[in-house]
Amino acid sequence: MGALALLWPSLLLPLLTVLFGQPPGTLAQTQVCSVKETVFTVKENTVPGPLVNISVPDGLHVTLGPSSTPYAFRIEGKELFLNVTPDYEENSLLQAEVECKRGDAVVAQLMVFVAVEDINDNAPKFSFAFEEFNVSEDTKVNTIVIPETQLKATDADKNDILVYTLQEVTPNASKFFSLESVNYPALKLDQTLDYLKNQNMTFMLLARDTWEENVEPSHTATATLVLHVLPADLRTPWFLPCSFTDGYVCIQAQYSAVVPTGHKLPSPLIMSPGPIYAVDGDQAINQPIMYSILAGNTDGTFIINTHDGNLTMAKSIPSPMKFTLLIRADQKDMARYSVTQAIVEARSVTGNPLQFSQSLYYGTVVLGSEAGTAVKDKTFPSEILRIQAQYPGFPDLNSAVTYRVTNSSEFMMNKDIILTAVPMEEARTIRVEVEASNTVTKDTATTVVEIQVSERELPSTGAGEQGDGQRFSTVDMAVLGGVLGALLLLALICLVILVHKHYRHRLACCSGKASEPQPSGYDNLTFLPDHKAKWSPTPNRKPEPSPKLAQPPLRPPSPMSSSPTPPSSTPPSPQLKASGSPKTVQAGDSPSAVRSILTKERRPEGEGGYKAVWFGKDIGAEADVVVLNEPTADVDSASASGSEGSDDDDPDQKKSFRFGADADNTYI
């Protein structure tokens, strides 16, 4: 554009010669008035000012003629001035007609031309600053989504060539869209769209009037583009739950159910992993779904609800069999559909009776409660007590169970919750019988609920049933644990006294000799914390002292030690060790080598087993104290050997002392 402006003077001079027949200067000289130059080149935006002096003889004067560019020039005295700031885009050539006059008569005419040289003084402009466009999700790759005519910018500098750049505002948006070229701002699609992943994408469109960014002068313009991805019907219905493999395909669920033979269930089947349910895979479109059974419905046994997919029984099934139903889900517009399986197995109820989870429940209600108050769980008083009877393996039958109180008018059932029917005005304990009936099979089951009407709400202890069903609070457990700990400490003191009394001469003679370490694998778990010791159940028989003992019988422990009690909460006592070199019982040793002289202590119920204390048959023998944890001898061999060497021991008692690897009792 600048080169063309520079050629104006050389092109203009021949043109003027043709028009006037001779060079302009010659014409001016012959007609008396003259100027040194008649063609000038100025850059646009040049500040107005004097242009050229006019030579005017005496008696003559000059004025601007009618063919002059309006307002572009003025004459002051004998000097021609440029009167406006030149603008190439408005007028690229200015002309001044100078008339040389004597009086009012024109003696001569001079033409002065000003060629305006173009410079880059205008920035490009977009027709919009912010624009939104919609693009369908199923648009094909390489499609022009916005034409060039809607995105191009304009530049007042007529010779400028604009360069376009597309910058992403939304991360990774440039993977999907690009410009056709740097000089052609049509927007095209480069990658398949996914409505579920990208619903809106924003770009900044830049236009520059120079090829390079760092040149001067250089101007830019910007506009914001927002592209909205519109959903398309690309996905089939999805049965839920399902696992996604990509945004279009979902590995859908297969459903299953178990129904009883010989009965028609009145309610929809309880399916696993959930009810039959499908949704339009195109969530933004969300077409309603219609359900149907394609195949597998032998004898029309099942009916599916067209609108919600619930599967019900049309008739009972006489014998055990399996149905593999093909379930179809159609979009309401019938454009797309999916198919899945629903496997229904008919089984006999025989051997699976209706039963309560507990034969005895414990509830509580606060004294003074009004009628209609729900009975709370005694174990967890903050929770409502629920009484439920079920058929193992038949969830559909469980929904057909009803409940009623059979022996009391003071309570009533609301489904599986017990409510008071009258105000509770007396603190007492009431035993209520609850009957469960199945409306399909007509089976019944009963249970008992022990309801305590207390003056205040019981604290939640979390304690379970103990022994004969009695429940203990945390305080009761702590007190009982303290008593048992004291008794255990007393028993250990007595044991130390007895050992010292009968073996002090051996302890004295061996006081200078270090005791050998106890063999590994025979640690005394009797004194470990209760949660670390394991106990195998054995018959609850009290031991009898052996009549063959040479020493006086020991005093039996307190009767409390043999009663079923909760585990002690007291810290474990130090482990008792006998001095000297103990001899452990091996698999080949005779059981007559050991004899029970101390009572066995029954472990708390739920943990089972005994703690039994044993001493050697011969008090003077080298092996004084034997500590056994898990002897490796076989159970049967140990029991048989014991019967040979101990004719006065109770045979049943011997069976309780197991020496197999599965036994986990502790013996001293």
- The stretch 307-321 carries a mean pLDDT of 95
Whether 34-117 and 125-230 share one fold: the answer is yes
Domain 355-454 has CATH 2.60.40.60: yes
% of residues, the chain, pLDDT over 90? 47
Cis omega (within 30 of 0) for bond into 459: no
Domain 125-230 has CATH 2.60.40.60: yes
Res 139 pLDDT > 80: yes
Distance CA 637, CA 631 (A): 12
Res 461 pLDDT > 60: no
Domain 34-117 has CATH 1.10.3720.10: no
Task: Kindly report which listed range (110-119, 196-205, 385-394, 503-512) carries the lowest average pLDDT score.
Answer: 503-512
Res 550 pLDDT > 50: no
Task: Kindly report which listed range (24-33, 248-257, 386-395) carries the lowest average pLDDT score.
Answer: 24-33
- The stretch 434-461 carries a mean pLDDT of 85
Average pLDDT value for the chain: 75
Residue 599, pLDDT score: 40
Domain 238-347 has CATH 2.60.40.60: yes
- Residue 94: beta bridge partners? 114
SS3 (DSSP) at 15? helix
Asked if 96 and 67 touch (Cβ cutoff 8 Å), the reply is no
Cis omega (within 30 of 0) for bond into 241: yes
Asked if 404 and 435 touch (Cβ cutoff 8 Å), the reply is yes
Res 32 pLDDT > 90: no
Which distant-in-sequence residues (6+ apart) come within 8 Å of 110 by Cβ?
24, 27, 28, 33, 34, 35, 38, 54, 62, 97, 98, 99, 100
Task: Kindly report which listed range (217-221, 339-343, 416-420) carries the lowest average pLDDT score.
Answer: 217-221
Measured CA distances, 628 to 458, 520, 538, 583, 649 (Å):
45, 11, 17, 10, 20
SS3 (DSSP) at 361? strand
Domain assignments of the chain as residue spans, ordered by start: 34-117, 125-230, 238-347, 355-454
Cis omega (within 30 of 0) for bond into 66: no
Output 625 or 191, whichever has higher pLDDT. 191
DSSP state of 169: S
Res 234 pLDDT > 70: yes
How many other CB atoms are found less than 10 A from the CB of residue 222?
Answer: 14
Instruction: Determine the straight-line distance between the first and last CA of the chain, rounded to whole angstroms.
Output: 113
